[in-house]
Structures are given as structure tokens and as C-alpha cells.
Structure 1
Amino acid sequence: RVGRLPQHVTPSWDLKTLWVLNDKGNSLTRIDPQTGKPLGSVRVRDPYNMYYTPDGQYAVVVAEQRERLEFYHAESMKLAHELWVPCKGIDHMDFSADGRYLIASCEFGEAVIKVDVAEQKYLARLAIFPAGMPQDVKASPDGKVFYVADMHANGVHLIDGDKFQQIGFLPTGKGAHGLYVSRDSRVLYVSNREEGSISKIDLAKRALIGKWQLPGGGSPDMGGVSADGKVLWLSGRYNSEVYAIDTTNGHLLARIPVGHGPHGLCVYPQPGRYSLGHTGVFR
């Protein structure tokens, strides 16, 4: 039992803790990943999402309704700095390869923003096209481009993070939402929530290479790839279920009934030296 409206399950930077982000409960529940038992909670306002700076010094709470990034000391979880940003509905983000900056999506602002991580300072705002409702953000394995899923534009925007310019758009499917990199870093999986499908993007070519349709439909949302890379796990947001998908051929391996409104599914443990947060972004 956790707080009100848990949104995501987030691995800590040091991989020792799983945090449940209780958005309407204004709290974070600490879970021991080895036992699955709760270890108390921390009071935090509006924790829709949470990330970690690449150096592990800060946990960055994404306060979506309050349009803020809140930097907490990762060890003590005491607030260090609160940054207001001109980003209505800020919710997902990822970091540059060198950790100097982050790119975040503005769900209700038809834009993305850039923030200096070391200075904890807002830098710029970029309107996306076609205009829509940007969601998940994922940096490419080579660090040269940021992919931004968009539910209303029904595809993925490509952003050059260093120049902070949009360099492309790939139409994937209705309700493009979550972004997950294959274990070999060659493919980006895109969950198209409103049409029950998963699109595949070739990361080297920056091109669409296929689409898997869930038999009988569904609402694939957030999740992750198994440690061996063979299974893509996704929550079924509006169908009270979780999907297990074979990454070799897209076949649905399992459709597991769960409670109402499953969202931020975390596949854990995972390969990696440290976690950047969300439902499991590892480096």
C-alpha cells in the first residue's frame, strides 16, 4: 500500500532503492528492491516523475502541475533548489551524453525545454512541429539526437540537443507515448497507446522499420525491456493489464490482468552502472 495516485516506479541512482511517486499523495514511498517491502516515505509536493543527475548528486522531482523541477540532495532527499520553468505540463526528460544539459517535454505547451544541469538553470524553449502533446524523451545511444514521443502528433520528434533544433519527425501511430531502447541499442520501441501498437525505429538510420499490433487491441504505455533483451514489458493504461511482447518478432507472450489504470511500469533489476530515473533509464 502506497500513497494516492502512484504514477511511476523509479530506480535510485545507486540502484539500491525503488521509489513510488505518489502524485496526489505528495509523497515518495521507498521500496527495498530485494524484498519488495516499503521502507517509509518522504514528503514531496506533486511528484509526477523523478530523475537523477548523471553524477548522482541530485534527485530531480518533476512537479508537473506546478511547472517546476525540484533538485533534492540524493542522499538526504532534502530540497536544494526549486526551478520554475515556462513548460506547461512538464513531465519527461533525458540528459545529454556528457550530462551538461537535459531536454524536457511540455505536455500541454507544444514544446520542449533545455536546462543547464550543473547550474540548475533554464536555458531555452523550442516549439515542436507538427504541434501536439509531447510525452516521453529519450537520448539516442550515440548522444546525437533526442527522440520525443507525441500523443497528438502521432509520432516522434527528432531534436538536435546541442543546437537545440528540430531535425525531423517520424509518424509512428496514434497516441505515441513511451520510448524504449533495445538491449543491443539498435532499435527504439515506441508505444502507440491509442491504437494498441508498438513501432520500431532504426536508431542508426533514424527511420521506421516496422510496427507490431497487439491482437485484440490495447493501450500500451510505459515499461521497459527485460535484462536479456528478449521481452518488452508495457502497462496497458486503459485496459487494466500488462503486456509481455517478444522482441524478436512482436508476438504477444502474455496479457496479465492487473488493477485499474496501470502506468509507470518498472522492469528491475537491469544492466547498468547507475540509474537516471523515470521507470529505468540506465547508463
Structure 2
Amino acid sequence: MLTRRTALTLPFALTATPAWAAGNPLAFVLNSAAGSVSIIDMQTRQVVRTAPTYREPSHWALTRNRSQLLICDAGGNALFFFDPVTGAPLGHRRIADPYQIGFTPNNKYFAVNALRLDFVDIYDATTLALVKRFKAGLWPSHLDFSPDSRWSFHSMQNSNTLVSLDLTTLTKRWSVKVGETPAGVLWLNGKVLVCIMGARGFVEVDPLNGRITRRVVTGDGAHNIFLDTRRNILYVSNRGPGQTGLTALDPETFEILHNYLIPGGPDDIGIDPSGHIWVCLRYAESVAVLNPDTGAYSTIPVGRSPHGIFLSTLLRQKGLITAERI
């Protein structure tokens, strides 16, 4: 049995869980204003358990061996660990203001955007020992990496910049203005895409020098951006204020394929094996399950301000699993 004392000293590397196990798949919904994680049976679409965190769960990352789902609690200064198959809690570990997190593709480093404290921390991915702290801008928000793990990219919401770090020398490469209130970041086809909430869309940035090469309008408060690696569709969540929903685009041409109007402030998404899109509705205390072929959706009540979502069906996929490539 885990006590508070053992949870605080829990080793980072635990015994591996099989990549897939018997039982109904689960959706983990991170309720930022409720200090909890709603765990949903994906077949019955019912909340089967509500796991407490400290204050403000927001985003997630999966360990390389897929044995642990890490959920960051920025306001609580902690990482919470769950078994991604069963939903069993595996303890927690204190860490400064983890708002957005990610492992480098080579699993050498673990990056943390500390939005409240205005720094980016680079940790050793195995031990979680702090390697380097960067004061890169105001309100570090979202992040992604180059596939070769050489560079990281971090949006600074209150500096209106995108910052790139060199992870081989642990130095800052460049910082460029990209637009008002940048958020979601995604590496795609050799470029970096950054959602610009104040510009109703996203920009494409050259990773070598930070030069903006394209601008695309999607909708009000374009907040986060995702690649469906099975259907090869790019999704942008338009969180508002104003008209809210999802925009589906061709990932090569950025041609808009469909706009889905979904009230309630869509934020992070997950896509299940049937192609249905699970959408956190930040302002509606619910998750929408959208059929992208018809545009119809149903909702599942969860906690206040649902933010990030992880579907255990992702464990069936080959390759690296991140919150941005689903």
C-alpha cells in the first residue's frame, strides 16, 4: 500500500506494465479547476472513478516503456503517476510548477514548462534530476521537440514568443515574436506549428531561424494543435471566446477540410480506434465524443475545467506516443 511517505520517494522507473491488457479501455480526463482526474470507461462512457490530485492537473506524458502515465499538477507542484491500463494510482513526486511536460524522443531529457514561475526546466529523464533551468520568457505554455531530440520549442504566452533550446549544448538558440498569446506547439514536416490565440489560427515557423513561413486562420482562440497519425488529419481546437469548435485540415497543404462547431471551449483531444474524437470542453465541465463523419457528438459530465485527456487505446499504437500525435 502506498502511503504519503512512500509516494514522495517512489522510484521514477517502475516495473513495466504490458503494452495492452484485458479490460475495458479508459479515458483519463484532467480537471484543472477540480484538482482531480476523471477516469471513464470508454465502452460504457461512464465515469468509474475520480482520482484526487493536489490543485491543477493540466497535461500528461507517457514513459517510453508505457508503464506510467505522468499527469502534471502545476498549482500543486507535483507529478502524479498512474498505471495507464488500469488507472491505478502509483504515487506522486514533488516538482516545481509542471504545467506542460514532455520526454525528448531519445528519452534523454524530460522538459517542463513552468507557466506560473516563468521558467523551462530540463530534467534527466531517468532520475528526474534537474539538469538546467532557463528563464526563457513569460508564461511558458506548450512544447515540442525535433525528431532527432536536438532542439526543443516552447511557446511563451505572455511574451508572444516562440523559444528554441539546443538540447545538445543546453543553450538558447533563438527567441522570436510569433503573435499574440501563442499556445499549442507541434513539429510537422520539418517545420514548427504554433497556435496563436490572438490571431485565430496558427503560424508555421522555420526551426533553423524562427522565421514565419505561413499563417493559417482556423477560428476564435486557436489554442492547441494535434496530428491524427492514422487518418493524417491536423486538428486545431478553437477555444474562444466567440464561436468554439475544432478545425480539421490537410497536414500538407493546410486546406481546411471541416469545421466542427462545439460549444464549451474545446481544448485537448484524443482519438479512439473507431475514429471518434474525445474533446475536453473547458467551460462546460464535460467531454464531447464527436463522430467526425457526421459531426454529431454526445457529452460525458466530468469535473470543472477539463483540460488534458489520455485514452488508453493509444497504447495499441506503435512508435512514440505524445499528446500532440494521436
| TM-score for the superposition, normalised by structure 2 | 0.78
Q: Write the distance in 2 (CA, Å) between the matches of 1:186 and 1:27.
A: 34
Q: Which runs of 5+ in 2 are unaligned?
A: 1-51
Q: Write the distance in 2 (CA, Å) between the matches of 1:32 and 1:280.
A: 20
Q: Write the distance in 1 (CA, Å) between the matches of 2:274 and 2:100.
A: 25
Q: In 2, are the aligned partners of 1:4 and 1:25 still within 8 Å (CA)?
A: yes
* Matching residue of 2:186: 138
Q: In 2, are the aligned partners of 1:15 and 1:274 still within 8 Å (CA)?
A: no
Q: Write the distance in 1 (CA, Å) between the matches of 2:217 and 2:274.
A: 25
Alpha-carbon distance, 1:136 to partner: 0.5
From 174, 180, 195, the equivalent of 2:226 is: 180
Counterpart AA for 2:107 = G
Q: In 2, are the aligned partners of 1:151 and 1:177 still within 8 Å (CA)?
A: yes
Alpha-carbon distance, 1:172 to partner: 0.6
1:184-214 per-residue CA deviation (whole Å, 9 max, x = no partner) reads 3532111111122111221111232331112
Q: Give runs of aligned pairs for residues 1-283 of structure 1, distance below 5 A.
A: 1-85=52-136, 87-128=137-178, 131-140=179-188, 142=189, 144-184=190-230, 186-194=232-240, 195-214=243-262, 217-226=263-272, 228=273, 230-252=275-297, 254-270=298-314, 271-275=317-321, 277=322, 279=323, 281=325
SS at match of 2:306: coil
Total equivalences in the alignment: 271
Counterpart AA for 1:191 = S
Q: Write the distance in 2 (CA, Å) between the matches of 1:66 and 1:218.
A: 28
Deviates more, 1:91-100 or 1:236-245: 91-100
| TM-score for the superposition, normalised by structure 1 | 0.89
Q: In 1, are the aligned partners of 2:186 and 2:324 still within 8 Å (CA)?
A: no
4+ residue stretches of structure 1 with deviation over 4 A? none
Deviates more, 1:102-111 or 1:65-74: 65-74
Q: In 2, are the aligned partners of 1:183 and 1:225 still within 8 Å (CA)?
A: no
SS at match of 1:266: strand
1:144-200 per-residue CA deviation (whole Å, 9 max, x = no partner) reads 222111211111111121242101111111011121112335321111111221112
Q: Write the distance in 1 (CA, Å) between the matches of 2:285 and 2:95.
A: 27
**What is the RMSD computed on CA atoms of the aligned residues?**
1.8
Greater Cα radius of gyration, structure 1 or 2: 2
Q: Which runs of 5+ in 1 are unaligned?
A: none
Deviates more, 1:53-62 or 1:202-211: 202-211
SS at match of 1:152: helix
